[in-house]
Structure 1
C-alpha cells in the first residue's frame, strides 16, 4: 500500500506538470502534427518497447507515415517532444547545437549518472573536450594502433584456441571492455577488469529498460551497479592523484591523467564527480557500442560468405605486406576500405545508439511549424538509415552503398554530427577494423542456428557461431 501511495503521489505530481505544459503548448496553433499519446506517460512505453525489441526506427517510421516525414510531435518521459526524422532535420539540429538546441537527458538518467546535467553544460563540455586532444584525437590514436593490434591478436588467439563453437557477445565484449579499461584507466589486470564487467552489463541493461526504480527491477539494479562503478572510479582517481604527485604516473598515460591535469582558460580543473561520470560514459561508449557493432558484423559475415571472402582478401593482402611480427599501423587502417564499408552497412542496419534528446533553448520555426522554448527534441539515425527514399531496399545488406561518394549527406549519421558528434568515432573505427583483421584471418565461421536471421542487439547475447580455423 505504501508503494502504491508513493507511485500515486509521483504520478499525480507529474500529471500536474504535464497538464501545465500541455496548456502552455496549446496556445501555439502552429505546433507540429502528431499525438501526445496517453495522459501523463505519453508514448514513452511505445518508444522503450521499440528499443527493447531492437527496432527503434519503427517508433519513428509509424508516426512519420501518419503525420509528417519531416517532423511530428509526441510526449516522452513527461515532456512535449518534437521528433526530427529527415536528413534536413539532422542538418538543422547539428548546425544549431548550442544556438537553438542543447543536449538534454530525461530525469531518470540522473539516477544512473548523477552529474549528467551538470556535465552537459556548455562550459563543462568545453572543458571536457579540451582533454580529448591528448588521447582520443587522431594523432594519439595513430600511436595506439599497435596497442589495439597486439591486444586483439592475443585475445582471439587465446579465446579461440581449440574452440569449435563460441558465444560471440562474451568474445567481443571482453575484448572491447578490457581494451577500454587499459587505454582509459590503465587497468591491465584481468581480474580487476572482470570485477567491473558484470556491473557494467547491469548498467547497460538498465539504460535500455523501463525506468521504474523499485526493488527487483532492471532499472533498480542498474542504479546499484552505477553506484558501485562510480565508487571504484573514485578510488582510482584518488590513487592516481597520489601517483601523479609522486611522479609514479605519467600525465599522458591515459585519458584519466589527462582529465585530472586539464584546466580551462580560467585555470579551473574539472570536479572529481564530473570526471567519474565522464569516464563512466566513455567506458560505455568505448565498449558497449563497439561490442554491438562487432557482434552484428560477425553475424552478417556468417550469413553472407561472399562479403566474408572479400574482407578476408583485403585483410590478407595487408597482412602479407607486413614483416613477420610487425604490428598494424595507421597506414594499414587506411587501406581497409572494403572492411569499413561492411562495418558501415552494419551500423546502418543496426545503429550504435537508439537516439538522443535535445532541449529547445529559444523559440524557432521549422518548415512552418513552431517549436517552443522548453520543448524537447528527439532524433535518431534510424529515421534515415532504413528509409527507402535514401537507401533502396533498406533491409538488404549491401556494403556497396558506401562505395564512391557514398550516401546522401546527413542520411548516414551513426556518430551524430555537429559539435556533439561522438568524440570516440575514430577510436571505434580503429577498434572495429583491427578486430575484423584478426577475426577473419583466424577462422571462418557459421551460425550455430542458421535459421536465426533477425538477430537484433537485444538478442545479441544469444549469437553462437561454429568455427572453421584456416589451415596453415
Structure 2
C-alpha cells in the first residue's frame, strides 16, 4: 500500500496542468459571439474534418447555425475563429471593400501552400496576381488548351478504360485530373518527372487540412516535406520556362509562362509563381475529380441521360475530327 501515495501524487502532478488547461476560461469581451472554443488547440477541428471525410460538412455547418445562430465563435486548426452563415454573410465576405476583413488561411494551408498565394495577398499584390491568373483563363487562351485536354482524355481512356469490365472511377479521375493539370499548368509531358510530381502532390494534399502539428510521422509533417519537394521541382521548371521565353516561346503555353510575363508593369516573383501554381493545383484537383465522378455516376444510373449525352457527343463528333 505505501507505493499508492507516490503513485497518486505522480498522477496528480501529471494531470493537474491538463485539468487547468481545459478548465481555465479566458475573459472575453461582452460582445463576443455565442459558441465555445472547445478543447484548447483542437477545438472543433476534428469534428469538421470528420464531417468533411464523411461528406456531411453541409449538415455540420447547418447544425451549428441552428444551434448558435448566423454568427458564432469556435476554434479551428489551433486558431480562434468566427463562424458566419447565410447569404448576408457571403455578401459581407465577398463583396466588402476589404476594410473589415482580409484574406488569411489556416496555419496548415499557409505553411503548405505558402504565404504569397492569392488566398493571402491583399491590395495591389492581390490585384496583380489575380490579373495574371485571369489572363491565363481568357476565352482566347482557353482555345489553345482544348487540344491538350482532349489528348490527355483520349490517352487516359485507352490506358485505363478500354476493355475493362469494372472501373473504379474516383481514383482514375484523380489521375486524369492531375495529368491535365500537369499539361496545362506546367507543360510537363508524361514520364518520370510527372510521376514523381504526382506522388509528392498526393502526399502534400493529404495533410493540407489537418491539425498543424509538425511532429515526426504526422500527416501534416509528411505534407510539409512533400510541399518542399513540389516547390523545389517547380523552381526548376520556372528556370526552364524562363529560358524558353528568352528563346521566343509563347507566353501562354502554360500557367508558369503566363505568370512569368509582366502584368501591370511588374513581374511576379518566383515565390509568387510557385505558391499560386500550387494553389491552382489544389483548387482544381479535388473539385474537378469529384464533379466528374458524380457525372459518371449519373450516366451509369440513368440510361435515358446517358443516351441523350451520347447522342449530343456523336453530333459534335460529326462536326470535325477534333474538339473546338
Q: If the TM-score is normalised by the length of the shorter chain, which range does it land in?
A: 0.7 to 0.9
What is the match of residue 82 of structure 1?
Answer: 82
1:151 and 2:152 are equivalent in the alignment = yes
Deviations 1:320-366 (A, max 9, x none): 2543753233xxxxxxxxxxxxxxxxxxxxxxxxxxxxxxxxxxxxx
Specify whether residues 144 and 245 from structure 1 end up closer, same or farther in structure 2 by C-alpha distance, changes over 3 A only.
Answer: closer
Give distance in 1, aligned partners of 2:199 and 2:175.
11
Is 2:282 the counterpart of 1:281? no
What is the correspondence of 1:11-410 to structure 2 with a 5 Å cutoff? Answer: 22-23=26-27, 26-27=28-29, 29-68=30-69, 70-96=70-96, 98-116=98-116, 119-247=120-248, 249-264=249-264, 267-302=265-300, 305-306=301-302, 308-323=303-318, 325-329=320-324
For 1:79 and 1:219, locate their aligned partners in 2 and report how far apart those are by CA, in whole Å. 16
Aligned partners of 2:129, 2:200: CA distance in 1, in Å? 25
Gaps of 5+ in 1: 1-7, 330-472
Q: Is the 8 A contact 1:204 1:222 kept in 2?
A: yes
Length-normalised TM-score, structure 1: 0.59
- Aligned mates of 1:319, 1:195 — CA distance in 2: 37
Please give the alpha-carbon distance, in whole angstroms, between the structure 1 residues aligned to 2:289 and 2:63: 29
Unaligned runs of 5+ in 2: 1-13
Question: 1:246/1:138 Cα in 2 relative to 1: closer, same or farther (>3 Å)?
Answer: closer
Cα 1:97–1:296, aligned 2, differ >3 Å: closer, same or farther? farther
Q: Indicate the structure (1 or 2) with the bigger Cα radius of gyration.
A: 2
| Residues 117 and 276, structure 2, Cα contact 8 Å, conserved in 1 | no
Paired residues, what number?
304
1:255 CA displacement: 1.4
Cα distance 1:40–1:220, how it changes in 2: closer, same or farther (>3 A)?
Answer: closer
The corresponding residue for 1:458 is none
In the TM superposition, 1:408-419 aligns within 5 A as: none
2:251 match: secondary structure: coil
Tell me which residue corresponds to 2:10: none
What is the distance in 1 between the residues matched to 2:289 and 2:200? 16
* 3-state secondary structure, aligned to 1:66: helix
Q: C-alpha distance in 2, partners of 1:223/1:37?
A: 27
Name whichever structure is richer in strand by fraction: 1
Distance 2:197 2:146 in 1: 24
Contact 1:259 1:270 in 2 (8 A): yes
Please give the alpha-carbon distance, in whole angstroms, between the structure 2 residues aligned to 1:116 and 1:243.
25
Contact 1:145 / 1:328 at 8 angstroms: preserved in 2? yes
TM-score, normalising length: structure 2: 0.83
Please report how far the alpha carbon of residue 128 of structure 1 lies from its aligned counterpart in structure 2 after TM superposition.
Answer: 1.0
* 1: CA distance, partners of 2:77 / 2:267: 34
